[in-house]
Amino acid sequence: MTTDPDMQLTVVVGTMVLLGFIGFMVLLLVLNTNRRHRHRAQLAEVHLMHEREVRAAEREATEQTLREVGRELHDNVGQLLGVASMGLSAVIGTGVADPQLGATRDALGRGIEEVRRLGRDLNSDLWQQRSLADAIGAEAQRLERVLRVKAHVLVKGELPLLPADRNTILFRIFQETVNNALKHSGANTLTITLQAAPRFALTIADNGRGFDPEQTHANGGLVNIRKRSALIGFTARCTSAPGSGCTWQFEQQGDERA
């Protein structure tokens, strides 16, 4: 029995086409699988970077809080208790009642209140358990009390409730910005504005000497502030000029309000 050559050719061509189609489908499956794996790896890397940044912000905020607490204990509470101690020593040394006793007791009472207040601050995670506005307000009060600078906090509208991790990083950005203003600009007045509309935004303005942003765009501190802002979906815009102070605005992007 003989086979038609045309039939053989048809079978061969059909087999080759079928194998080619199967190979093409396998290739597509492999490429699609690899693409999904890369996408998952990228998402995992972004998530890991986010978690690392949150932990770093928490650690830095905690370290700064402890430094400030130590400074207050040394400069404020220590001074008050020192006055009380000297007053009591003077009274005890005389062996008789003295009018200074009342003032001494008042100074000691203020010192005790300061210690209690600092204890409450240490046991309360400002950037996690309180709203961002409350944490910034408490920090502004501390700046006025300890550093003798004017810090005005304005809240406009009903602010959105941000996730705890976003609050943590945004509070750390606030700390970095304020530190830069007080350390480098010679500012003695800060105006801090939190506004709800049209998008949630945090604005920090100082009356310092200002600078030229174009000449300092590569500064590590400024880069870090912008990087952290982008990580939580905020834009960071700096407006400044020599002799005109500096204004930072951090604005939430997109329509998401939480």
Report the distance separating Cα 72 and Cα 70, nearest Å.
5
pLDDT given at position 257: 44
pLDDT given at position 200: 95
Residue 176's nearest CA partner among 225, 247, 112 is: 225
Identity of the amino acid at 187: A
CA distances from 241 to 150, 175, 192, 244 (A): 21, 22, 19, 5
Residue 140's nearest CA partner among 150, 126, 129 is: 150
Report the distance separating Cα 130 and Cα 160, nearest Å.
13
Using alpha carbons only, give the angle 5, 10, 15 rounded to the nearest 5 degrees. Answer: 130
pLDDT given at position 73: 67
Enumerate domains of the chain plus CATH numbers. 1-123 (no CATH), 150-258 (3.30.565.10)
Residue 225, strand partner residues: none
Half-sphere exposure of 106 (CA within 13 A, CB side): 5
- The one-digit pLDDT tens for each residue of the chain (258 residues) are 445 777 777 877 888 888 888 888 888 888 888 888 888 888 888 887 887 787 777 767 766 776 677 667 666 666 677 677 677 667 666 666 666 666 776 777 777 677 666 655 555 455 556 788 988 998 898 888 878 899 999 999 999 888 877 888 898 899 899 988 988 888 999 999 999 989 999 999 999 998 887 776 656 678 889 988 998 899 999 999 888 899 999 999 875 444
Q: What is the pTM of this model?
A: 0.58
